[in-house]
């Protein structure tokens, strides 16, 4: 019964998001937004990844540390976990919960241990993330929505799917010029 209910909710949100999109783009949300261009993936692949994301959120909802502090990005069954948590136990629990979800092929754990001690730390990451999205839009135009950016303590995590390796290289080089960026971690899948 729970699986049927989750499936119906997922399909409802997918239909709402998909039907409202003028560019044929599908998104699934949460604390972070994950966007995938329709031309790079089939609707079935997107639904599978969205189902995985919803099921992970259902696992995380019972633990405020995970639900609030950990972001998930799902691409082709690969789950990227980012965020900032208080201790190693929370980090390990996140990975354990994700592996319990059907359809997960790989878990990439980029959850950091620590905290944003001041509002300035949070604002800095937010500013970097906003600059990254702006640079992506400038370089790739509308195709930039196929990328997900998450910034944690000056490290930008980039995820997405693309066929254009030249634009991706240009984007990565441009991201290095943003003030406050310590590192760029690239999880973009190159399709042929």
H/E element holding 8? helix 2-20
Dihedral sign of CA atoms 74, 79, 84, 90 in order: positive
- Give the whole-number percent of the chain exceeding pLDDT 70: 77
- The reply to whether 2-113 and 119-190 are identical in fold is yes
Confidence bin at 7 (pLDDT 50/70/90): low
Confidence bin at 97 (pLDDT 50/70/90): very high
For the segment 110-138, the average pLDDT, to the nearest whole number, is 87
The pLDDT of residue 37 is: 45
DSSP symbols for 155-184 = EEEEEEEES-HHHHHHHHHHHTTSTT--EE
Which superfamily, per CATH, for 119-190? Fe-S cluster assembly (FSCA) (3.30.300.130)
Confirm or reject CATH 1.10.150 for domain 2-113, answering yes or no: no
- Cβ(148)–Cβ(161) under 8 Å? no
The pLDDT of residue 185 is: 94
CA angle 34, 40, 43 (to 5 degrees): 75
Instruction: Pick the range with the lowest mean pLDDT from 15-29, 39-53, 85-99, 159-173.
Output: 15-29
**Residues paired with residue 110 on neighbouring β-strands, in sequence order:** 82
Q: Environment class of residue 72 by beta-carbon count within 10 Å: exposed (0-12), middle (13-18) or buried (19+)? A: buried
Q: Where are the domains of the chain?
A: 2-113, 119-190
Instruction: Pick the range with the lowest mean pLDDT from 30-34, 45-49, 178-182.
Output: 30-34
More confident residue, 145 or 95: 95
Q: Is 110 helix (H, G, I), strand (E, B) or coil?
A: strand
The pLDDT of residue 29 is: 41
For the segment 86-91, the average pLDDT, to the nearest whole number, is 88
Two structure tokens written together for 39: 């031309």
The pLDDT of residue 34 is: 42
Confidence bin at 23 (pLDDT 50/70/90): very low
């Amino acid at each position: 019964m729970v699986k049927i209910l989750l499936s119906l909710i997922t399909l409802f949100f997918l239909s709402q998001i998909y039907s409202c999109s003028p560019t044929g783009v599908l998104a699934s949300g949460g604390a972070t937004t994950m966007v995938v261009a329709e031309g790079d993936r089939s609707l079935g692949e997107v639904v599978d990844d969205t189902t995985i994301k919803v099921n992970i959120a259902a696992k995380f909802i019972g633990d405020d540390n995970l639900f609030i502090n950990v972001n998930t990005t799902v691409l082709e069954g690969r789950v990227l976990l980012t965020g900032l948590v208080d201790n190693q136990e929370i980090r390990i629990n996140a990975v354990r919960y994700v592996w319990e979800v059907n359809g997960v092929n790989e878990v990439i754990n980029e959850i950091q241990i620590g905290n944003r001690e001041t509002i300035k730390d949070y604002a800095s990451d937010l500013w970097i993330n906003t600059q990254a999205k702006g640079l992506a839009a400038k370089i790739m135009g509308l195709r930039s929505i196929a990328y997900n950016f998450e910034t944690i303590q000056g490290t930008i995590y980039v995820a997405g799917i693309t066929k254009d390796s030249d634009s991706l290289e240009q984007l990565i080089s441009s991201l290095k010029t943003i003030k406050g960026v310590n590192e760029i971690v690239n999880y973009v899948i190159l399709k042929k």
